[in-house]
Structure 1
Amino acid sequence: MVTGSRVRAAKGQGGLLRDQLLDIAGQLLESGGADALTIRAVATSAGVSPPAVYLHFASKRELVHATCLRVWDSLFIELEAVSREIQDPVTALYETCVTYIAFGLRHPAQYRLVMAGEATEASRQNEEACFRYFRDKVAACLDAGVPVRSKTETARVVCAGVHGAVSLLIHQDRDVWPADSDRYVRRAASSAVHGALLTASHTFTPSMANVPQSR
């Protein structure tokens, strides 16, 4: 349960109260899911009246959008940090996928709301931004000589892989998640990248002849 003392914003500090409200909204979302995130619950936890929350957020939907977008903004900071020093573009794409999947698993409630829930404006903004980010990484692979027939199609395949890896788990109870989540994240990222790039220049039909055999 999220609790807090009464928040009084001094003159000119409305932005501070807004950030505090978003902190509380994020905690409610993480602990109780979308049903727990209401204007009244945020107001009660902040020690203010619901009208004080409405001064910053016109509706619950706007509050949900702001809460989700705030977390998703941190994703792009993480993506930039993880790939900034990597020279090899395929490795950079792989680490981008690892970061994306790990982010989704750390923030399942926000991920569900943005990608499959009511946060429609947050969904539009983040889906477009994420797709552009992955397409830029695929373009870097093409520039480095990786045979990619279509940057857009290949980026879609990569996005399908990482989104599927996140969605498979966040719609299940945590007690059925893989015991070694880091291994799962890295295998899923490797599958998304290498599968997409392997088929980026030609049609590839899987068969036992293409699978390494154990000895």
Structure 2
Amino acid sequence: MTKGSSTPAAPRYGQPARPRNRRGEGARLREEIVRAATALIVRAGSEQAVTLRSVAREIGIAAPSIYAHFSSRDAIVQAVVEEAIAQLHQSITAAVTAHEDPVEGLLAGCAAYVEFGISEPARYRVLFETPPSKPDSSGLDTAENSGLNAFRTLVDNLHACVSAGRSTSTDPFADAVALWTALHGQVSLRAALPDFPWPPTDTVEQMVLRLGRITR
């Protein structure tokens, strides 16, 4: 290109340039950034794949464009975490509320938890590998708040089983912690040891009934 030429340079990352958002469409780019980061994590199996450059390359934009929506690479990963937790919470809540019987709701909610972890191993793993962001004015970061909401669904459901005379638990919170620990172990061990002769996933039901002190 000759000096003074106004011919535009080729896209920096070797991809067609992404069309510029019209006024008021900035939120769309933010969503695309989160989707791109999620895709990178799913493909690589780790949040280490996320960098400003890799996300920009995935979308077809210049890396500095990201700063209008995220202050850092860690902020992007945190957004991926928040989205994954929100989806997990939504799946659990939908499974629980689909049943009037509290025991069936508890079983369905726990099954939904394990199903998410098994079907979305990379997204599930990033929930527990990503350091929490700085807390907001409430003292809890957004992801932690969302995670606690998902856990409260489990606690509340176990309380409902106790109230209905279907559980002999005298400490639903402690028993819910034990149950969550077991569910997480189920997901993590299956991901870490895929060749182990695991029994059918209906063992989750046996685990829930035992740890929830459920009577059927």
TM-score w.r.t. length of structure 1: 0.80
What is aligned with 2:18? Answer: 6
Match of 1:37 among 46, 50, 62: 50
User: CA-to-partner distance for each residue in 1:71-119, whole Å, 9 max, x for gaps?
Assistant: 221122222222223121111101111000110112222222222x124
- CA shift, 1:52, in A, is 0.7
Unaligned runs of 5+ in 2: 1-14, 134-141
The answer on whether the counterparts of 1:75 and 1:100 sit within 8 Å (CA) in structure 2 is yes
User: Which residue in 2 is equivalent to 1:67?
Assistant: 80
- For the 8 Å contact 2:17–2:60, the answer to whether it is kept is yes
Aligned residue in 2 for 1:142 = 162
Identity rate, percent: 26
**Residue of structure 2 in register with 1:166 after alignment:** 187
Greater helix fraction, Structure 1 or Structure 2: 1
Q: Residues 4 and 169 of structure 1: is their aligned pair in 2 closer, same or farther, counting only changes over 3 Å?
A: farther
Structure 2 equivalent of residue 25 of structure 1: 37
Q: Distance in 1 between matches of 2:151 and 2:91?
A: 16
Q: SS of the residue aligned with 2:153?
A: helix
Whole-angstrom CA distance in 1 between matches of 2:121 and 2:143: 14
> For the residues of structure 1 that align with 2:43 and 2:182, how far apart are their CA atoms?
27
What is the RMSD computed on CA atoms of the aligned residues?
A: 2.3
Q: Is the 8 A contact 1:8 1:17 kept in 2?
A: no
Read off the aligned partner of 2:150 and give its amino acid letter: C
The answer to whether 1:191 aligns with 2:203 is no
Report the equivalent of 1:156.
Answer: 177
Larger Rg: 2
- Paired letter, 2:184: H
Q: Which amino acid aligns with 1:56?
A: H
Q: Structure 2: how far apart are the matches of 1:157 and 1:108?
A: 22
Counterparts of 2:161 and 2:147 in 1: how far apart (Å)?
Answer: 21
Q: What is the number of equivalent residue pairs in this alignment?
A: 191
- Name 2:7's counterpart in structure 1: none
**What is the alpha-carbon distance in structure 1 between the residues aligned to residue 16 and residue 156 of structure 2?**
43
After TM superposition, the runs of 4+ consecutive aligned structure 1 residues lying more than 3 A away are 177-180
| Residue in structure 2 matched with residue 204 of structure 1 by the alignment | none
Measure, in 1, the Cα distance between the counterparts of 2:31 and 2:58. 14
1:178 to partner: Cα distance: 5.8
Aligned to 2:69: 56
CA contact (8 A) 2:96 2:105 kept: yes
Q: 1:178 to 1:20 in 2, by over 3 A?
A: farther
Note the C-alpha offset of 1:54: 1.8
Task: Measure how far apart 1:125 and its partner are.
Answer: 3.1
Shift of 1:140: 0.6
Query: What is the identity, as a one-letter code, of the residue corresponding to 2:20?
Result: R
